[in-house]
Amino acid sequence: MREIVFDTETTGLDPASGDRMVEIGCVEMVNRVPTGETYHAYFNPERDMPAAAEAVHGLSISFLETKPLFAEQVDALMDFLGDAPLVAHNAGFDFGFLNNELALIGREPVDRERMVDTVAIARKRHPGAKVSLDALCTRYGIDRSHRVKHGALLDAELLAQVYVELLGGRQIGLELAAEAGSVEVSITRSETQVPARERREPRPHAASAEELARHKAFLERIEKPLWLN
């Protein structure tokens, strides 16, 4: 099964108020294993970058204004996404910005039926616990030491590892079930009958008179044996 784990960076929190997507990072997985194929792009948002947003991801408007518009890269992005399920952390946020960019250029939105939200999975798997990406990386021992600021591709790569752990981890011989956190185990019984073995009489194993004499002579040559102290 092919899935795409993705993350976005934006100018703010609300596309309805004019915030725009400025970065997207996507990681391809097949049967919950990253294939090494990724998609990453920056976009010129055609607006300013609020200081609060820049503090999160470090993307300045002077950097972004040299990048292509979303419309110039949309075909490559949509080709990469294909018709695969799309996995994101707090997926409604990322879907909202992706579909807003599509709407601005007159393209059809991505069907939310394709959405897989790892926040929802984490809350079900770990009720009452913190479910931020950082907290889940800590829980599952995933190294995030290189994550100084948010970055769409880096966060997607971390999330791909978290996603696998949320679904039970890579357990050899176990097939991940559709329900997060559960597994189905298929056990096949062998029809081969083990043949009965012929009973053997125990073999004599006592030392001979010659062996006992040699052992006694050996012991008599030992000076100050410990067992006599």
> CB–CB of 49/59 below 8 Å?
yes
Q: Which amino acid is at 124?
A: K
Active site residue 150: yes
H or E stretch including 94?
Answer: helix 91-104
- 31 vs 4, 134, 191, CA distance in Å? 11, 24, 31
> CB–CB of 31/1 below 8 Å?
yes
Residue whose C-alpha is closest to residue 33's, from 181, 172, 164: 164
From the candidates 40, 89, 146, 150, give the one annotated as an active-site residue: 150
> CB–CB of 164/170 below 8 Å?
yes
Count the alpha carbons within 13 Å of 165 in the hemisphere toward its beta carbon: 16
Q: Which residues pair with 39 in a beta bridge?
A: 26
Dihedral over Cα of 87, 89, 90, 93: its sign: negative
Q: What angle do CA 115, 120, 125 make, to 5 degrees?
A: 130
User: Which residues does the annotation mark as catalytic?
Assistant: 150
